[in-house]
Amino acid sequence: MSDASALTKREDDAPDVGELTPPDRTLMGPGPSDVHPRVLKAMSTPLVGHLDPSFVEIMDEVQELLRYTFRTDNKWTIPVSGTGSASMEAAIGNLVEPGDTMLVPTNGYFGGRMKSMAERAGGEVVEVTAPWGEPLDPVDVERAFDEHQPDVFGFVHAETSTGVLQPNVPELTEIAHDHDALVIADTVTSLGGVELRVDEWGIDAAYSGPQKCLSCPPGASPLTLNDRAMDKVLDRDERPRSWYLDLSLLEGYWGDDRAYHHTAPITNVYALREALRLVAEEGIEARWARHREVAGDLKAGLQDLGLEMNAPDEYWLPSLNAVRVPDGIDDGAVIDHLLAEYDLEIASGLGDLEGDIWRIGCMGRSARPKNVEYVLAALEDALAEQGF
């Protein structure tokens, strides 16, 4: 076969894939949320190298903006290259050593993920029990500490699977520190959307994702550690099981030396920088207030439709509204109707609450009055289709 005929054959075998034309959805699920046009524009700017002097300046700016958003002065504040699960595994996989004991909650899906990651890191896992849909009780946390004396305590600040916001965070961290334990907070659905004060509340390490209240595409995920937590990372007897997420190596790239470790997702860092600029321009406390106000209107509208929230008022999570599915209503049919007729995304429940709730996000750019009006009208129509 000649070179020309071989080339023709390869061309004939090439997949016939058209232009990229995803639908233009209104994103009101548990994430991702709607992305600001400025963030999308930032992603279209030219690439530079991940060690280019101009990119090093961008890295510095992203770290400073993350400190502002986390409300922390932690030097070790970085975007981990990967989704929120990568920053989660970086925190747990570096702070839990083989032989350590980690205390995790049972009150939602992501406490279970903490457990799995800690076990993979070689840790022994013990649990503090609370029902799905309720926060942890400090009395139960203290009892668990007295019984098990864990080295690390993890809790979920904003539980995406139940719509519950954990109150009394400073009380929980004080209990842990009184027992000489480190505290890891899951802030995936709270960072940039509900009140979070890493330093003031005594949180040693916190991880998050960019696609929720920051309204940024996933790919570079916030993580912060204080000096106490980073000291443990640097003094480990055994290296973490993940080379890619080894914070003692990432410290060389995001620290003072800027030494090569991996090729950072440059475009995602651009996007995160612009999303965090929007946070700073709005003001973090004003942003928290906007989420409370807009989500409060959503909550009131849902109740006017005759729907019941999964979380009691005192534990309500503005950024993620968990709504009970009424008796006789097919939750999946409602989700499908919204997607097909309105290009509107909400989500069903996870784990123990699968089929029992809808999860309606009100996060970042999606937390706007027009989105609330739209989802309420569409949901009323979808419910009417089933005779509600």
Q: Taking residues 197-222, what's their average pLDDT?
A: 98
Model confidence band, residue 12 (pLDDT cutoffs 50, 70, 90):
confident
What six digits make up the tokens of 242? 């993940």
Nearest to 187 by CA among 36, 300, 72: 72
Q: What is the pLDDT of residues 145-169, one digit of tens each?
A: 999 999 999 999 999 999 999 999 9
Query: Which pLDDT does position 13 carry in this prediction?
Result: 84
Average pLDDT, the chain: 96
Measured CA to CA, the distance from residue 112 to residue 352 in angstroms comes to 11
Class of domain 26-33+283-385: alpha beta
Inter-residue contact 308 to 323 (CB < 8 Å): yes
CATH 3.40.640.10 domain locations along the chain:
37-281
Q: What is the pLDDT of residues 96-149, one digit of tens each?
A: 999 999 999 999 999 999 999 999 999 999 999 999 999 999 999 999 999 999
Class of domain 37-281: alpha beta
Q: Which stretches within 305-387 are classed as H helix?
A: 331-342, 369-385
Asked whether the predicted pLDDT for residue 5 surpasses 70, the reply is: no
Q: Alpha carbon of 27 to those of 33, 61, 313, 354: distances in Å?
A: 5, 28, 24, 20
Asked whether the predicted pLDDT for residue 300 surpasses 80, the reply is: yes
Q: Taking residues 198-208, what's their average pLDDT?
A: 98
Inter-residue contact 218 to 32 (CB < 8 Å): yes
Asked whether the predicted pLDDT for residue 7 surpasses 70, the reply is: no
CATH 3.90.1150.10 domain locations along the chain:
26-33+283-385
Tell me whether residue 256 is exposed, middle or buried, using C-beta atoms within 10 angstroms of its C-beta: 0 to 12, 13 to 18, 19 or more: exposed
Asked whether the predicted pLDDT for residue 8 surpasses 90, the reply is: no
Measured CA to CA, the distance from residue 223 to residue 169 in angstroms comes to 18
Q: What is the pLDDT of residues 252-266, one digit of tens each?
A: 999 988 999 999 999
AA letter at 327: D
Q: What is the pLDDT of residues 312-333, one digit of tens each?
A: 999 999 999 999 999 999 999 9
Q: What is the pLDDT of residues 16-62, one digit of tens each?
A: 999 999 999 999 999 999 999 999 999 999 999 999 999 999 999 99
Inter-residue contact 176 to 170 (CB < 8 Å): no
